[in-house]
Amino acid sequence: MRKYRQEDNVIYVTFPRPPEADDVFTSGPLDYQAEFIQNPSAIKLALWGVGTGKSAMGAFHTVLACLDNDGMRALAVSPTNTMINDVLVPLLEDIAETWEQANGFKLYKHHKTQNTITFHNGSKLFLRSGDRPNKLRGPTVGFIWLDETSVMPDEETIWEAVLGRLRGKGPRQIIITSTPMGDVGIIGHVLQEWRNGTPGYHVQKKTSYDNPYLPADYIPRMRAAYSPEFFEQEVLARVLKVTGLMYPEYDEETHLIDFDPHKELLNGWEIIVGVDWGYGHSHAIYCAVRNNASLPYPEVVVFDEFGLEGKSDEEMVKAIIQRLSKYRVLPKGFAPDYEGSEANSDLRKALRKIGAGMKVRVEQDHKKRRVWRSVEMKRRLLRTAERKICLKFARHLQQNGMNVKGGFGVLESIQNYRRKSAVVGRSFKDEPYDDNRTAHSMDALRYVVMNLQKFGFKLQYRVARAGEVGVERGIYAREALG
């Protein structure tokens, strides 16, 4: 028996018999993995938390199906080509390596240009990306594996496409391995059919606590790092019935504090200004930031803001420069909208004329700029699962005219910033709705959050979702950054 661990995945595989034997391939997975594999239902959903080995089990299940059905055609779908190469292929290669060591010949041949695997018994496995759903309408198959459906861009189209492909030789099963992100999309559909008692549907729920081989500090570190909602979703694998609010963690009693910037800024705080450009409305958020060893993230206090309506970016730059003398401490730097390249250039030029060393930082990595990532970081700053509060707001902002009911100030916005309506499954998606009102101050604050590290502040954890790979997969890959 050989145990292999592909980062946060654990599975046991053994090949004790020669290939000509009836039982070619004997496995000893974890009990819940074996239970899922052996269930004969036509559509099976493994709703498991991070670190439970769902992708490893999915790979193993798919290989078994291909070996049990000579000449079968199967399909494995991952959200992106990157995830195919970084998650699916290494898992399949690990199984193939074990097979070859035990049996002396190769399990399959990988045709990389076609992204197709041909097994020694003639079965074929097509590896396809979910970011182009219409490309899935080609092959007729007898087995389908969908991995991490919650982060696929168009789940409804993908589901329609794969259902139409499942008419070939084989068990005609669809297995879905995913950490939930609300009861929307494919997960929402399967859950609803299962709850209704529709024949052929099976759902298995497992949390990160169910894997006995995880390191002792794996889950405690996630509890320290994650927002409450993210912890329930990623670790406890709960399908959350979320509200329409983007930031339900915000609470006036907890997050409003007395903060006099004229006094407090002299006590080790740095000023970072977030800027959202736009002719209809431009917005600037002033944040006091400092490292705090007792917190998992930097301490941030929003203490000032202003906005301009119907003004050009050039006029916004002038307004920003004019306000530099308002406080006794100059900003450490500015974190503007990454899409406003011309305005950002104008701001840099204006700051260079002053010559005070103030920097303009813009996140260039499009993956790190993804809205969900900075939204989740704001949630963590508002409250972690261990109830650590890193983001607060100066109480005097309530007196700002922008924070009256229906206004576009930061306090009014954080209480009313909404999620997008979903197409299927539930009422809301985990993405913000741009209403051209609350979005401006929320975007300005997002730019500050996503660039904290660029200004030298320490983050103990990075933000990643289940299924992400490389430096951002697994809690141990979210190394301390300071």
Q: Could you report the per-residue pLDDT of 361-372, keeping only the tens digit for each?
A: 988 887 777 787
Residue 429's pLDDT is what?
54
3-state class of 251 per DSSP?
coil
State if pTM tops 0.75.
no
Please check whether residues 195 and 265 belong to one and the same domain. Answer: no
Q: Does residue 303 share a domain with residue 190? A: no
Can you tell me whether residue 373 is helix, strand or coil?
A: helix
CB distance 103 to 19 below 8 Å:
yes
CA distances from 37 to 57, 183, 213, 216 (A): 8, 23, 20, 27
Whole-number Cα distances in Å, 103 to 20, 26, 62, 100, 406: 10, 13, 19, 5, 70
Q: Determine, yes or no, domain membership for 23.
A: yes
The DSSP element (H or E) to which 195 belongs, if any, is: helix 185-195
Does 199 lie in the same domain as 263?
Answer: no
For residue range 120-136, list pLDDT tens digits in order: 999 999 999 888 777 77
What CATH number is attached to the domain comprising 54?
3.40.50.300
Residues 291 and 404 in one domain: yes
Do residues 302 and 393 touch, judged by C-beta distance below 8 A? yes
207 & 262 share domain: no
Looking at the domain assignment, is residue 222 inside a domain? no
Question: Is the same domain home to 202 and 258?
Answer: no
Query: What's the confidence (pLDDT) of residue 166?
Result: 87
Looking at the fold, whether 107 and 181 belong to one and the same domain comes out as yes
Please list the residues that pair with 419 across neighbouring strands.
432
Checking if the pLDDT of 284 tops 80, the result is: yes
* pLDDT tens string 148-194: 888 787 788 888 888 888 888 999 999 999 887 777 788 888 998 99
Range of the domain at 28: 2-212
Q: Are residues 317 and 444 in the same domain?
A: yes
144 contact partners, CB below 8 Å, separation of at least 6:
74, 75, 76, 77, 162, 165, 166, 173, 174, 175
Q: Which of 198-202, 244-248, 331-335 has the lowest average pLDDT? A: 244-248
Domain boundary among 160, 193, 212: 212
Amino acid at 237: A
As for how many domains the chain has, the answer is 2
- pLDDT score recorded for residue 197: 94
How far is it, in rounded angstroms, from Cα 440 to Cα 461?
27
Task: Identify which of 235-249, 401-415, 466-480 has the greatest average pLDDT.
Answer: 401-415
pLDDT in tens, 346-387: 999 999 888 778 999 988 887 777 787 888 889 999 999 889
Q: What is the mean pLDDT of the chain?
A: 83
Whether residues 189 and 305 fall in one domain? no
- Minimal CA–CA distance to 342: which of 365, 362, 313, 318? 313
